[in-house]
Amino acid sequence: MHKSFLILKREYLTRVRKKSFIILTLLVPFLFAGFTILPAWLAMQDDEEERTIGVYDATNQFGQRFENTEFTNFEAIPKAEFESIQQDIKSSKYYAVLYIPEDILNTNRARLLSDKQVTFDIKNMVGGKLENLVESDKKAVIIDQSGIPDLEEKLQAARTRIELETIKVDEKGGAVKSSTEIAMAVGYAAGFIIYMFVFIYGAMVMRGVMEEKTSRIVEVIISSVKPTQLMFGKIVGIGLVGLTQLVFWLVLIFLIVTGLQVFLAPDQAEFIQQSQSMMAANPQLQGAAQENAVLNIIDLVGNLNIPLILTSFLFYFLGGFLIYSSLMGAVGAAVDHEEEAQQLMLPVTIPLIFSIIILFPVVKNPEGALAFWASMVPFTSPVIMMVRVPYGVPLWELLLSMGILIASIYGTIWVAGKIYRTGILMYGKKVNFKEIVKWLFYHN
């Protein structure tokens, strides 16, 4: 036991102290935050530059009706001025000049002239304002012609938008507000993280075993410790490296997200306020979001069974890792070269890859036969059962799946240990499956 611990310590420390590990562990959360939160935050930032936009209206219907916004002023300009400015917008005081042609009601075309590329927001804002003005004029004409004075209000009242709320009813008849989207996101993420870690760290076990075999240090080591101790120390040590990385990632992402929230809090409050006042002003949008979307998500996540999800995640994370890493360790022991390893790796990883392929069908229908059987088979259950857990899985199914996984881990480690003990000292022999099956019956 003491020796297994020494091995575990070496496996863990040599990997955790590697520069590549430290960089990856620290960098990924920032990259994650950078790619998800920052663009959203930047998009929320207001453009605070003061601009003046000249409006030359050839129809003389809209020019005076543009309302100034907080940072943008509109000024109607006569034809003569427009023609002179057109030659040289740069030296004029206008950021851009809007030209509304005479036939705008028929063509729906206008021009925004500027000496530089007009920003996306300005283009949208100006376009939207002009659209509203033209539309309201057209509507006025239609209402006039129809002879129905409150036509506009009536049409407005006929507009429909339905908000479908999903409610999960538990056995006691209590209703819990659930969200298919949230369960899907959590399940998908958990399943995918397990897949990724099992793959990466399982391959790390394999390479570690191969390193010991090809460098021939293994003969020195197993004259001091039992091969099973060596394998055990290696698998657990590398598993802990994976767990360390995962914990660091989760903690760092949590800290970064919270930090950004605190940092951005005033802006966000303003944003929410703004959007609410906008909704009040614009009754069309009111149906779309009655509640604050952010609060809604927090509420729904809170309704998930978080302790159960975390426990199952940890269980399937370790279970998946143990079952695959012991097999990959056996592959590493059986081969002499990287190329042979690739060949033998394939059959081992096929169930793992299969579980990623069926991930989407399972997410879509977590109660189906495919989902059920795939969450019982120990080689796919670590990923598939984890996808299903956030949706809520009957307890007996969860326990049965866990039981099968534990029993299979024992079996797999026994098989892998046999292959490992024979393979690790076998050099210069190209192995195939028939050969490996023979090793299972060796008496070491």
Partner 1 sequence: MEIFKATNVVKDYAGHRALDQVSLAVKEQSIFGLLGPNGAGKTTLIRIINKITAPDQGEIELFGRKLKASDIQHIGYLPEERGLYKKMKVGEQALYLAQLKGLSRHDALKGLRYWFEKFEIQPWWNKKVEELSKGMQQKIQFVITVVHKPKLLIFDEPFSGFDPINANLLKNEILNLKEQGATIIFSTHNMASVEEVCDHIALINQSKKILDGQIDAIKEQYKQDIYEVETSAAHDVTAEFSRNGFQLIDYQLKGQTQRVKFQLVEETPTNVLLQNLMAKMEIRSFREVIPSMNEVFIQVVEQANPKKQAHA
Contact set with partner 1 (CB under 8 A)? 3, 6-7, 10, 14, 211-212, 215-217, 219-227, 425, 427, 438, 441-444
Closer residue to partner 1 (CB): 225 or 358: 225
Taking the complex as a whole, the smallest distance from the CB of residue 9 to partner 1 amounts, in Å, to: 9
Strand 96-100 to 51-57 pairing: parallel
Rounded CA Rg of the chain? 33
Taking the complex as a whole, the smallest distance from the CB of residue 341 to partner 1 amounts, in Å, to: 18
Closer residue to partner 1 (CB): 10 or 79: 10
Alpha helices in 335-379, H assignment, sequence order: 338-357, 359-364, 369-374
Sign of CA dihedral 25, 26, 27, 29: positive
Closer residue to partner 1 (CB): 220 or 350: 220
Closer residue to partner 1 (CB): 6 or 155: 6
Place of tokens 């009754």: 283
Residue type, 33: A
Q: How many Cβ atoms are within 10 Å of 169's Cβ, its own excluded?
A: 10
Taking the complex as a whole, the smallest distance from the CB of residue 427 to partner 1 amounts, in Å, to: 7
* Ordered DSSP codes for 148-209: -TTHHHHHHHH-----PPEEEE-TTS-EEEE-HHHHHHHHHHHHHHHHHHHHHHHHHHHHHH
* Ordered DSSP codes for 112-148: EE-SSPPPHHHHHHHHHHHHHHHHHHHHHHHHHHH--
Taking the complex as a whole, the smallest distance from the CB of residue 310 to partner 1 amounts, in Å, to: 35
Closer residue to partner 1 (CB): 57 or 212: 212
Taking the complex as a whole, the smallest distance from the CB of residue 163 to partner 1 amounts, in Å, to: 59
| CA 184 – CA 194 distance, rounded (Å) | 15
Closer residue to partner 1 (CB): 87 or 215: 215
Taking the complex as a whole, the smallest distance from the CB of residue 329 to partner 1 amounts, in Å, to: 17
